[in-house]
Amino acid sequence: MSSSRIQAWLYDPVSTGKKLSPVTCFRRSFESGRGLLRLKVGALGLFDCRLDGERITDSLFTPGWCDYRKRAEYHCFERPVPAGPHTLEILLGGGWYSGHIAGKEDRVPMLWIEAALPDGGRFGADSRWECSSDGPLLYSDIYMGESCDLTWKWTVWRPVGVKKLELPLEAFSGIPVRCCAVLKPVSVTGTIVDFGQNLTGRERLRFHAPLGTKVVIRHAEMLNPDGSLYTENLRGAKAENTVVATGGEDFYEPDFTFHGFRYLEVRGADRFEAEAAVIHTDFTEHLSFRCSNPLLTKLAENIRWGWLDNALDVPTDCPQRDERVGWTGDAQVFVRAAHYLTDCSRFFRRWLKDVRAARDEDGLFPIVAPWLERFGGSAGTAGWADAGVICPWTVYEFTGDTSVLEENYAAMLRFNAARWNQFRQGHVPPARFGDWLNADDDTPKEFLGTAFLIRSLDLTARAAQVLGDEENRLILEYRERMARNFFRTNYQNDLHSQTAMALALRFRLLDDDRRQTVADALDRHVREARGMHLSTGFLGTPHLLHALSENGHADTAWALLEQTTCPSWLFPVLHGATTVWERWNSWTPESGFGDPGMNSFNHYAYGAVLDWIIGVAAGIRPDFTLDPHPGGSLEFLEAEYRGLSVRWEKMPSGGYRYFVSVPEGCEARFRGASLPPGKHEFEIGN
C-alpha cells in the first residue's frame, strides 16, 4: 500500500548535495521493554541500519531504486530486543538518488522511519535524532566508487534536520538484493587479482599497510595485452575504491557502491587477501542445462551470469561503466529468458511501476526506468517503449497471473492509443535506436516502428481478451488489421535484413502466401550472404532462430547457434568470455577491443537466445507442454525447469530417445500426450 500523506523525513543539515558527499550516520538512543522491535525504514538514497552495533538485515542497497519524482519505498524489519537501553544507527548514502548516476548537485539524501517498540511506544523522524558526517565514509558513489578512512570514527554529532514531504510512500514489493556468493581468486599476479568470472559486486579485502597509507583498489572486466587493467570502456566511471589503513590488520568492504569486474588491482598494501562478494537480486533460480557441446553449455552459464549481474534491484544494461540504468529495450528483449532462469515476476512487476511512472504526457513509455533526466525526451521509441506491453504479457505467460495484466492494462491501452494517433496522422512510431548494434545489416527505422506498433496492438488485444474487455479487444484488433494492411502494402515485398525478415515472420506481419518465401530468403541470407552467420542487433536477435525453426529451417537455426566464428554466440565463449558481450565484436584477435564508447563485456541482450535453447531445443514451454527439437552436432541435451526435466539422446539408428521427469503435483504434455508425475521414456525414430 502507498500513502501520499505528508511525512517527516530526516536529513543532514550540513550536507550540500554535492555528487561526492560524505555518508551520514543518524543515531538515536531509546529505552525498550523486552519483545519484538518493528521498524519501517525508507530513504531517498540508500541506508544501512544497525541496532546496538549489529546490522539488522542481510539485504543490501536498501530500500532500492525507484522513480523518486513519483514515489519512495521502505523496508520492514523485526528484531527481538531485551529490555533496557538501545541505540539505532542508520548510515545514509546517496545511492541512485544523488551522485553521478543521478547527475544532480543539489539532492540531499533523506531518511524516513517508523519504530514500534515492544511496550507500545513509538518514534519516527523527529528532532530527537542526531547525525554526523565526520566518519570514515568520505563518499560512496555508484559510478566513482568509495573513499574510506579506517582511522576515522563517527564524531561531531549535531542536531538533525527534519523536513515535511508529500511523496507517496510504499512498502518494497520486489525481491531483496543480497550477497549471493563469495568467490576466491583463481590467480594473483603482483597487484592484479583474477576471480575467473566477470561479476557484479565488490571486494572484501584483508590487508596490512602502514598507518595513513591510502590503498587504491581498481576494477576491470578485461586486461590489456601487457597484463594491466583495461578500463577505457568504463568511460566516466572511475570504479575505484580507496581505503586509508590503520597500520594494523585491516578489513574493508564498500557500503553503497558496486562494480562490474573480473579483475582487481590493489595498490599500496604490504600484503593483502581478496575475495569477491557477488551481489544481485536474490532470485530463486529455475533452470539447469547441459549438453554434449561444452561451448553451448558454457554459453548457457554465461547467460545466467549476465542476467544475475544485471539484475541488481532493476534490470540494467551493464554493471561497470557510467550507465547501469534500466533500459526498457534490453529488458523486453531478455524478459522471456529471465523467466526461464529465475522466479522474477515480482522483480519485473515492481520495475513496471516505474515504467508506468515515466510515461510522457501522451502515455508513451520511456527508454529507461526508473526515469533519469538525461534520458528524457525519447518516449515511444520502437522496441524500447514496447517493454510496457511486452513485459507484462510475458510475466502473465509464465505465471498465468492475470493481476499483472490488470496492473498494466490501462497504461497499455493509453500507450497504444497514443501510438495509433501518431500513425493515423501519418507518423510511424519513432525508432531512435534502430536495430541496435547489428552486424552491418541495418533495418529501416520506419519498418521497425510499424512492426512494433503491430506487435503492441496484438499483445494488448490478447490482454483485453484475457481480461474480458470485449469492446477494447475489437478496437485493438481493428487497428492491428489496419496497421498490418499498411505493412503489407509498404514493406512485405522489400525485406532485406535478417531482422526485418525475422520480425515479419515472428510478428505475423505477412500474407500467408509470402511466409515461406520470406523464410527461405532469410535462410539464404544466413547461409549465402553471410556465410552461415547472423547479423541481427538487439531487436532481431531474440526472434532469429525462432523464425527459422518455425518455418522449415531448423538446421540453419542449429548451425547458427553452434557457429564459433564472429559474429556468433559462441565466438566470445571460445575466447574466454564468462558473461555475454554487448557487441558481437566486443573483442577480436584482429582488432582487439571494440569501440570503448559502448563496449560492455557483461550485457544480457544477446543472451535472449536462451529462450530458443530451452523453449525449442529442449522444448520446455512455460505451461509445461513439451516439444523438443533435437539437432545440430549434439549427442544429448538435458534441461530442468521448475522441476520438469527433459533429456534427449541421439541413438545410433539416427532417432532419439527422450527422458522426461514430471514433478509431483504437476502434469505435462509431450507432443500432445498427457504425462502424469513421475519418470517417462520414449524412443522416436527418424
> Which residues are designated catalytic?
323, 582
Neighbouring C-beta atoms of residue 429, cutoff 10 Å: 26
Q: What's at 664, amino acid-wise?
A: E
How far is residue 222's CA from residue 599's CA, in Å, rounded to a whole number?
11
Find out whether 272 and 265 touch, Cβ atoms under 8 Å.
no
- 8-state DSSP, 386: T
How far is residue 380's CA from residue 389's CA, in Å, rounded to a whole number?
12
Check residue 52 and give left, alpha or beta (phi > 0: left; psi -120 to 50: alpha): left
Check residue 53 and give left, alpha or beta (phi > 0: left; psi -120 to 50: alpha): left
> Which residue, chain included where needed, has cell 584483508?
206
Q: Could you tell me which residues are beta bridge partners of residue 161?
A: 11
Three cell numbers written together for 564: 564459433
Three cell numbers written together for 336: 522471456
Neighbouring C-beta atoms of residue 30, cutoff 10 Å: 15
> Which phi and psi (to 5°) does residue 675 adopt?
-120, 115
SS3 232: helix
Find out whether 56 and 77 touch, Cβ atoms under 8 Å.
yes
Neighbouring C-beta atoms of residue 681, cutoff 10 Å: 9
How far is residue 672's CA from residue 232's CA, in Å, rounded to a whole number?
53
How far is residue 426's CA from residue 289's CA, in Å, rounded to a whole number?
48
Beta strands in 472-522 (DSSP E): none
Residue 475, CA distances (Å) to 417, 460, 663 in order: 10, 11, 42
**Of the candidates 492, 488, 554, 506, the residue with the CA atom closest to the CA atom of residue 526:** 554
- 8-state DSSP, 15: -
Work out the burial of residue 210: count CB atoms within 10 Å of its CB; fewer than 13 is exposed, 13-18 middle, 19 or more buried: exposed
- 8-state DSSP, 165: E
> Which phi and psi (to 5°) does residue 205 adopt?
-120, 125
> Which residue, chain included where needed, has cell 542445462?
289
DSSP string for 573-630: HHTT-SS--SSTTSEETTTEE--GGG--S---GGGGGHHHIIIIIS-B-TTSEE----
How far is residue 60's CA from residue 49's CA, in Å, rounded to a whole number?
10
> Which residue, chain included where needed, has cell 550472404?
529
**Of the candidates 67, 87, 76, 96, the residue with the CA atom closest to the CA atom of residue 154:** 87
Indicate the pairing of strand 110-116 with strand 187-189: unpaired
Cis peptide before 85 (omega within 30 of 0): no
SS3 159: strand
